[in-house]
Every structure is written in C-alpha cells, then in structure tokens.
Amino acid sequence: MSVVTPDVIEPMLKNMQDSLNELAMRWRGSDSDEEADAIAHNYQVILRCMIDLGFRQSLQVEAELPDELMPQEYFDLYKEG
C-alpha cells in the first residue's frame, strides 16, 4: 500500500479549494433550485473529501455557502480545537 505524502496532498487540497471557490460563485449565480442543489451537493462532497485528506483551515467567506448548506464536518473542525 502506498502512502500519500504531503507534497502530493497539498497541491490536491489547493486544487480542491479552487473548485470550492468556483462552485460557491456558480451557486450564487444559479438560475434554478435544481442547479443550486446540484452545485451544493458537489461542493459538500469536495469539502468532505478535503477534510478526510487533512484540511483543517477555515475557508474565505466568499468560498463558503450559507451555513445550512455547509457540511457539519466543517463546523466540527472548530469544536475540536
């Protein structure tokens, strides 16, 4: 079994964070509830994956969705500290 090293994870997390920024922007500009729901779902999947990979930072406000659409795992990061 191979181990994923920080030099691999850090660029992945950066790319995923860029994706969250783009998805948040697309969510704010969405034309329908169906589109907004699909974008929010993809956003949540990516953020949960980031947390599983060790992401422990707060996101910039413009990169976040409204609290009710953010995964609970994101809020749990701040309860643990």
In a domain? residue 66: yes
In a domain? residue 74: yes
In a domain? residue 71: yes
pLDDT at 81 over 80: no
pLDDT at 1 over 70: no
How much of the chain exceeds pLDDT 70, in percent? 93
Q: Give residue-wise pLDDT tens across range 62-79.
A: 999 999 999 999 999 887
Helix axes 72-80, 33-52, angle to 10 degrees: 40
Report CA-CA distances (Å) from 55 to 26, 34, 35, 38, 76: 23, 29, 27, 23, 12
The count of structural domains within the chain is 1
Query: Residue 10 sits in which domain range?
Result: 6-80
pTM given for the model: 0.89
pLDDT at 7 over 60: yes
In a domain? residue 1: no
pLDDT confidence bin for 3, thresholds 50/70/90? low
- Residue 73 contacts residue 48 (beta carbons within 8 Å): yes
